[in-house]
Amino acid sequence: MTGRCDRDRALLDSACTPLQYPPVSKVRDLAHHWGTTPAERQAVFPDDNPEDAGADLLWRGVDVAAPASVVFRWLCQLQVAPYSYDWIDNGGRRSPRHLDPQLEQLACGQPFMQIFVLESFVHGVHLTLVTPAGSRGAKLFGVVRVTYWAKPVAPDRTRLLAKLRVVAAPGLRGAAMRAFLPWGDLVMMRRQLLNLKALAEESGEARE
């Protein structure tokens, strides 16, 4: 009897053990730097500048089993579609699944994803987009500069990294945006990068 009672008490104690949730700081970290390493976040990104010190910074990253040149070609496709959840941010139209070589003819000022324009680029390596001051995108989200970097780690492997620098509007609207934008962006940009990863890997296989 004693043995069974001790066993039952042990089971009860185990059942009453509080659930262990991740620390709040860890949950917050997920929204701010999903998929990236500390070394990547400390690295100098293309188009970093001194003004970034006053911006909220977000990082995202995925491994891609395809050459950086192929990954960059898919980044050029962002001119015509967001490659995220099309039913949310592309009017229900499916983002194209085939590369359009015409979109690889880049020039600063070209529109990307409806609310951005191309600020700078190095062909085959990276491109930086910005919501121009006074534009619809800037009114919605603040001034956002995002760099997509196809960073080669091997001839057939790439780290697709993104760094966002967000300067929210002042006041309550800006405060709300600083609180919620990291989470909203995480949902949409995670899907975007995973879609681009899948498409780039399929392109690499088709080329082999």
Tens-place pLDDT, residues 154-187: 999 999 999 999 988 777 777 787 788 899 999 9
CATH code at position 121: 3.30.530.20
Name the band, by pLDDT with cuts 50, 70 and 90, for residue 205.
low
- Rounded to an integer, what distance in angstroms lies between the CA atom of residue 16 and that of residue 44? 48
Q: Which domain holds residue 122?
A: 28-207
Residue 4 falls inside a structural domain:
no
Give pLDDT, residue 141. 84
Residue 12 falls inside a structural domain:
no
Tokens of 198: 């899948």
Give pLDDT, residue 25. 54
**Mean of the pLDDT values across residues 70-76?**
98
Domains: count for the chain: 1
pLDDT tens string 28-44: 788 999 999 999 999 99
Residue 126 falls inside a structural domain:
yes
Residue 15 falls inside a structural domain:
no
pLDDT tens string 88-144: 988 889 999 999 999 999 999 999 998 999 999 999 999 999 998 888 787 878 889
Residue 17 confidence (pLDDT) above 50: no
Residue 109 falls inside a structural domain:
yes
Residue 54 falls inside a structural domain:
yes
Residue 99 falls inside a structural domain:
yes
CA dist 169 → 16, 31, 62 (Å): 46, 20, 30
Residue 169 falls inside a structural domain:
yes
